[in-house]
Amino acid sequence: MIFLDDSGQFGLLVTPLAGHRMFRFQLIVEGQLIGDSEGCILGSVMAQLKNRPRIDDERLDLLGIESAQFMELLADDEFLHDSTIMSSVESLDRWTVYSYVRKKRFVIVAQEVSTRESGPILTASVDEVAFNSIVDAARGYWLNSQ
């Protein structure tokens, strides 16, 4: 099942798989499906999505200017890195994914890092209300499918 914002720039793919509580989980960022299709247990990622940090740091406004420098900022600043990194998501092992809420917008930045050269930096920004609706719908589907 795909849960997507109206623009098609951000979404979640959540599909039950054969096996005890296993699901396919992938993100849609900048309209592209990211992550692998292997099964995973979704509890940790659903908790992370439900509790994305609200960050009031003007440096985050640099996203639209230079995405490579922005990724460096998130990697180098200990507070920003630790609070925005999406960790413990098995299907995103080959990806660096940061997300947060700022100025009533949910922002997600992703880059594949499994190859010799890092992939392009993908970004999406959606209204916080739309983000919460997507997460609530995906979470409800996940809970009812178990």
pLDDT at 21: 80
Q: Is residue 1 helix, strand or coil?
A: coil
Q: How confident is the model at residue 115 (pLDDT cuts 50, 70, 90)?
A: low
pTM score: 0.91
What value does the mean pLDDT take over residues 21-26? Answer: 90
95 sits in which H/E element: strand 95-102
Question: Is residue 141 within 8 Å of 42, Cβ to Cβ?
Answer: no
> Quick one: what percent of the chain has pLDDT higher than 70?
97
Enclosing domain of residue 81: 2-145
Per-residue pLDDT tens digits for 42-100:
888 999 999 999 999 988 887 667 788 889 999 999 999 999 999 877 888 889 999 99
pLDDT at 124: 95
What domain count does the chain have?
Answer: 1
How many CB atoms sit inside 10 A of residue 139's CB? 19
Per-residue pLDDT tens digits for 116-126:
777 899 999 99
d(CA 8, CA 24): 19
d(CA 33, CA 52): 20
Contacts of 71 (CB under 8 A, 6+ apart): 96, 98, 109, 111, 121
Is pLDDT larger for residue 14 or for residue 92?
A: 14
How many CB atoms sit inside 10 A of residue 17's CB? 14
- Average pLDDT of every residue of the chain: 90
Rounded to 10 degrees, what is the CA torsion of 35, 41, 45, 50? 130
